[in-house]
Chains A and B, each alone.
Chain A
Amino acid sequence: MATVIDNPQPLNAGDTPPLQATLERLLNTIAEGDQIALESLFEVVSARLFGLQLRILKDREIAEDALQETFFKIWKNASTFDAKHGAPMTWLNSLARNHALDVLRRSGTRADVSVKLADFNPDTWRNSERDFADTFEDVEGLNLCLQELSSDTQACIIGLYCDGYTQQEISESLQRPIGTVKSWVRRGLASLRECLEK
């Protein structure tokens, strides 16, 4: 039986708990084999996932293939989503990101190899963050903790996570030894954990 979510809104309409509930319901319905629910989910999250994959893969055609594969995986694996392990958008983001990273690993190269590390600027982030936040507190918490890191460490973590750069690429971009980059990342992660657990 098809279940249609009434007027699914793209995520930038405000990702509030009701949307989380919507995503959960969509995933549950997809798990039952409902294609209409998959189409609804596509309408709601595809721009988000495509943006994420395009940022990593830096090639529109490859990103389109990756998105197709990701939605096929969502179709096949929706039943494995478990809300107790995290928010549905986190699950979807992880699926999309991991697939994009797999594509990069398999190809062994990136279409655009120029590394451009993003500046961390929570003031400019804030508006867009609000749009997509599962909970505002999560974003604020991470922002505050990122601000405690050095700018190089911030750039490394964001470059690794959001752009899918390798540590080697970042090392070359920053013209710092790979060991230094690894050390920044490791210390940064440890600091983030400590800060977020406060």
Chain B
Amino acid sequence: MSIEEREWDLAAAEYVLGISSDEDRKVFDRLYQIDEDWITRVHRWESRLDPLHKSTVPVNPPAYVLTQVIARINSEKTVATPITDLLDSSELLLTERGDDASIINQPRPATQVASTRNQGSAPSSSSVITSLEQWRERARYWQLATLMAVASLVGVAVLGPDYIARQYAQPDIGKTVAVLQSEELQPLWTVTYSAPSDRGGTVSTGRVSITVVGEPQLTAEQDHQLWMVLSGEAGVQSVGLVPNVAGESITFDLPVGIEEATEFAISIESLGGVPGPAHGPVVTRAFIVKARSDI
């Protein structure tokens, strides 16, 4: 095992033990969503250390814990609205299982993404894989840099290594839908992108609609704010405040063309939001995949 391999492996061990720094843990959480090599390392250490739990004495919990779990499940069943019901099915093609597997190949997908093209065909997995590979490389670079305590990584992630829910959207298509999830994998918002051509070219930058499908958590003094993370080191661009009540929607004309951005992100801000570029903690993100125009 090379020195670098050993470092990665020890980082995985520390992550499993729960002693990574907050900053590292957020990066590792993200890697855990997308990086098969990292996932394997983490599972290997979980398996190695798991026998330690044998020293813990089992304790019977009260029966009402199960009752509460079941009640919660039933309650969610009653109020849940299928995400697909909130979307125009003619505008999207749900990601097929085959694409899902080939695109992400992860045991614990945090995000389901639905997208379609104007022509009605599914996006080519090869284009998506290329983009995710790029993200993987970027995440690896980020992680390695973190491990080596390199501080100046501004260009890698403008919004900082908060929890992300990975999504992707294709700027070359007429409609794209992503589902933004919480850290607990609960869908919070759907994002629908409409290319400029859909609206007769009246707005050259395209438009996004955000619909609340979950229960975003906020205090009375906070708002959720949508951002575009711009390519390179161009920083972030505020798009606007997004609603937080299930069923509510808002549509924005994008402040810049989607091709200039790499991600959408939603942060928590004080009431009324902020002009940027400084921003609050990011609660979820959607990566924009640059689809090849010939696909």
Interface residues of A (CB under 8 A from B): 10-12, 35, 38-39, 42, 46-48, 50-52, 54-55, 63-64, 67-68, 71-73, 75-77, 80-82, 85-87, 89-90, 93-94, 97-98, 101, 118, 125, 128-129, 131-134, 138-139, 141-143, 157-158, 160-162, 164, 166-167, 185-186, 189-190, 192-193, 196
Chain B residues 55-111 with CB under 8 Å of chain A are: 55-62, 65-66, 68-70, 72-73, 107-109
Assuming the A-B contacts A189-B13, A192-B48, are A51 and B69 also in contact, with contact meaning beta carbons closer than 8 angstroms in the complex? no
Range for the number of chain B residues in contact with chain A: 35 or more
Q: In the complex, which of the residues B48, B54, B68 contacts A125, with contact meaning CB atoms closer than 8 Å? A: B54
Q: In the complex, which of the residues A39, A85, A98, A193 contacts B66, with contact meaning CB atoms closer than 8 Å? A: A39
Contacts of A86 in B (CB 8 A): 43, 46-47, 50
Minimum Cβ distance to chain B for residue A89 (Å): 7
Given A50-B59, A87-B50, A128-B55, 7 other A-B contacts at CB below 8 A? A54-B59, A71-B69, A80-B109, A129-B55, A139-B51, A185-B17, A185-B19
Main secondary structure, interface of B, reads helix
> Could you tell me the distance between the alpha carbons of A70 and B72 in the complex, rounded to whole angstroms?
12
Contacts of A93 in B (CB 8 A): 46, 50, 53
CB pair A90–B59 under 8 Å, yes or no, is no
Assuming the A-B contacts A52-B53, A85-B43, A193-B48, are A64 and B62 also in contact, with contact meaning beta carbons closer than 8 angstroms in the complex? yes
CB pair A160–B10 under 8 Å, yes or no, is no
Q: In the complex, which of the residues B46, B56, B68 contacts A52, with contact meaning CB atoms closer than 8 Å? A: B56
CB pair A68–B65 under 8 Å, yes or no, is yes
A-B contact pairs, 10 of them (CB 8 A): A46-B66, A54-B59, A68-B72, A71-B66, A85-B107, A134-B51, A158-B52, A189-B13, A192-B13, A193-B10
CB pair B18–A94 under 8 Å, yes or no, is no
Assuming the A-B contacts A160-B17, A185-B19, are A68 and B68 also in contact, with contact meaning beta carbons closer than 8 angstroms in the complex? yes
CB pair A85–B60 under 8 Å, yes or no, is no
What residue of chain A has the Cβ atom nearest to residue B71's Cβ?
A: A68
Contacts of B48 in A (CB 8 A): 142, 192-193, 196
Assuming the A-B contacts A142-B52, A164-B18, are A48 and B70 also in contact, with contact meaning beta carbons closer than 8 angstroms in the complex? no
CB pair B56–A55 under 8 Å, yes or no, is yes
Assuming the A-B contacts A39-B70, A42-B66, are A47 and B52 also in contact, with contact meaning beta carbons closer than 8 angstroms in the complex? no
Contacts of A185 in B (CB 8 A): 14, 17, 19
Contacts of A129 in B (CB 8 A): 51, 54-55
CB pair A162–B52 under 8 Å, yes or no, is yes
What residue of chain B has the Cβ atom nearest to residue A42's Cβ?
A: B66
> Could you tell me the distance between the alpha carbons of A128 and B57 in the complex, rounded to whole angstroms?
8
Main secondary structure, interface of A, reads helix
Contacts of B18 in A (CB 8 A): 97-98, 101, 160-161, 164
CB pair A75–B69 under 8 Å, yes or no, is yes
> Could you tell me the distance between the alpha carbons of A164 and B16 in the complex, rounded to whole angstroms?
11
CB pair B10–A186 under 8 Å, yes or no, is yes
CB pair A47–B58 under 8 Å, yes or no, is yes
B49 touches A (CB below 8 Å): yes
What residue of chain A has the Cβ atom nearest to residue B47's Cβ?
A: A86
Chain B residues 20-64 with CB under 8 Å of chain A are: 39-40, 43, 46-62
> Could you tell me the distance between the alpha carbons of A90 and B40 in the complex, rounded to whole angstroms?
14
Minimum Cβ distance to chain B for residue A52 (Å): 5
What residue of chain B has the Cβ atom nearest to residue A131's Cβ?
A: B54
Top 5 A-B residue pairs of the complex, sorted by shortest distance between their CB atoms: A47-B58, A129-B54, A50-B61, A80-B108, A85-B43
